[in-house]
């Protein structure tokens, strides 16, 4: 006989929208506490796929499902399962194939999944020569064009995803590829007023500089954009008077 939690998870697949909505709200609330997370982890083979399918539903259902997955994916074992289920691809498909209304949450979900090497490989599309790097190119393009949107800044957390993938050599190689010009695009976001964007950009640059020995030529190609970002924090925020600058010049 199924217990209460098993019955609750079954309701996530209910054909009745009100029942499905009520069930996913309860599951989301359970993931907000350690006891709830541990209980759901025992039924992850049912909970994770069910919640994953709900990401493609209307916002009233997909939003709590995404919030639940974000909480669950903070557990590395559950995140590993989600990656192996193909949730990177599923998330990217939802992000760009329909108006999900949960863009910010989906990007935050990607941050958790790319904490894992397997998640990074999946986002980089390692092993698929034709598609390699397409997901990252899309995310970078969105990151660089969404900051002026009236509905907030749904892609500002992409900077954290880029920090994660740039921790791996394959990620740094992709970002530093001069033909793609991805890092050059990302660097320009350092001028953003968003602290999240600045943090993401600076972290990505820092990680990419670990490739200086092997990628010095590619780094030099973007030096006119790179140096200001590296030197401005050192210069500080002090405003010099005209007299000060004339003294410095002499």
Q: What is the DSSP string of the chain?
A: ---HHHHHHHHTT-SSHHHHHHHHHHHHHHTTSHHHHHHHHTTHHHHHHHHHHHTTS-HHHHHHHHHHHHHHTTSHHHHHHHHHTTHHHHHHHHHHHS--S-HHHHHHHHHHHTTSHHHHHHHHTTT-TTTTTHHHHHHHHHHHHSTT-TT--TTTTHHHHHHHHTTSHHHHHHHH-TTTTHHHHHHGGGG-S-HHHHHHHHHHHHHHGGGHHHHHHHHHHTHHHHHHHHHHHHH-SPPPPHHHHHHHH-
Report the C-alpha gap between 219 and 212 in whole angstroms: 7
Tens-digit pLDDT profile for residues 80-92: 999 999 999 999 9
Domain identity same for 71 and 130: no
Same domain, 14 and 63: yes
Assess whether 192 and 120 both reside in one domain.
yes
Residue 98 lies in a domain: no
Q: Please determine, for residue 37, whether its predicted confidence score (pLDDT) is greater than 80.
A: yes
pLDDT band at 235, cuts 50/70/90? very low
pLDDT value of residue 105 = 96
- Residue 85 token pair: 């289920």
Residue 134: inside a domain? yes
pLDDT of residue 247: 45
* Position 131 confidence tier, pLDDT thresholds 50, 70, 90: very high
Q: Are 88 and 113 in contact (CB under 8 A)?
A: yes
Rounded to an integer, the average pLDDT of 49-71 is: 97
Q: Could you tell me if 67 and 118 lie in one domain? A: no
Chain-centre distance of CA 235, in angstroms?
Answer: 30
pLDDT band at 64 (very low <50, low <70, confident <90, very high): very high
Do 67 and 148 reside in the same domain of the chain?
no
Q: Does residue 40 lie within any of the structural domains?
A: yes
**Overall number of domains in the chain:** 2
Q: Which structural domain range is residue 37 located in?
A: 1-85
Q: What is the mean pLDDT of residues 187-208?
A: 87
For residue 62, is it within any domain?
A: yes
The percentage of residues in the chain with a pLDDT greater than 90, rounded to a whole number, is 63
Cα–Cα distance measured from residue 203 to residue 185, given in angstroms and rounded to the nearest whole number = 15
The answer to whether the Cα torsion of 39, 43, 49, 53 is positive or negative is negative
64 and 131 co-located in one domain: no
The CATH number given to whatever domain includes residue 78 is 1.25.10.10
pLDDT at residue 244, rounded to an integer: 47
173 plus 218 within the same structural domain: yes
**Which tokens hold the place of 170?**
């394959």
Q: Do 158 and 139 contact (CB within 8 A), yes or no?
A: yes
pLDDT value, residue 213: 54
Token code pair at residue 45: 């083979």
pLDDT bin (cut points 50, 70, 90) of residue 248 is very low
CA 2/CA 48 separation, integer angstroms: 18
> Residues 14, 66: one domain?
yes
Is residue 123 within 8 Å of residue 110, measured between CB atoms? yes
Which of 113-122, 138-147, 163-172, 223-232 has the lowest average pLDDT? Answer: 223-232
Instruction: Classify residue 52: in a domain, yes or no.
Output: yes
In a domain, 230, yes or no: yes
pLDDT score for 231: 47
Return the closest-CA partner of residue 109 out of 133, 92, 125.
Answer: 92
23 in a domain, yes or no? Answer: yes
Mean pLDDT value across residues 161-185: 91
Residues 223 and 128 in one domain: yes
The contacts of residue 114 (CB under 8 Å, 6+ apart) are 120, 123, 161, 164, 165
> Are 135 and 200 within one domain?
yes
Same domain, 80 and 141: no
Check residue 209 and give its pLDDT: 79
Same domain flag for 79 and 122 = no
């Amino acid at each position: 006989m199924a217990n209460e939690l098993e019955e609750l998870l079954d309701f996530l697949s209910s054909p009745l929208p009100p029942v499905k909505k009520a069930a996913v709200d309860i599951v989301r609330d359970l993931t907000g506490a350690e006891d709830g997370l541990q209980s759901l982890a025992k039924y992850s083979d049912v909970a994770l796929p069910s919640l994953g399918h709900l990401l493609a539903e209307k916002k009233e259902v997909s939003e709590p499902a995404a919030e639940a997955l974000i909480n669950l994916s903070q557990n590395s074992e559950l995140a590993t399962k989600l990656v192996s289920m193909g949730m990177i691809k599923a998330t990217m498909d939802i992000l760009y194939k329909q108006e999900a209304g949960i863009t910010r949450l989906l990007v935050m979900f990607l941050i958790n999944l790319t904490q894992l090497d397997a998640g990074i490989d999946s986002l980089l599309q390692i092993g698929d020569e034709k598609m390699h790097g397409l997901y990252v190119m899309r995310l970078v393009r969105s990151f660089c064009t969404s900051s002026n949107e009236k509905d907030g800044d749904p892609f500002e957390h992409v900077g954290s995803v880029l920090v994660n993938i740039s921790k791996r050599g394959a990620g740094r190689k992709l970002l530093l590829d001069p033909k793609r010009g991805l890092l050059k695009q990302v660097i320009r976001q350092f001028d953003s007023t968003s602290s999240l964007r600045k943090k993401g950009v600076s972290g990505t640059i820092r990680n990419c500089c670990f490739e200086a020995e092997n990628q010095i030529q590619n780094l030099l190609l973007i030096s006119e954009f790179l140096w200001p970002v590296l030197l401005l924090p050192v210069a500080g925020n002090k405003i010099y008077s005209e007299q000060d600058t004339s003294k410095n010049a002499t």
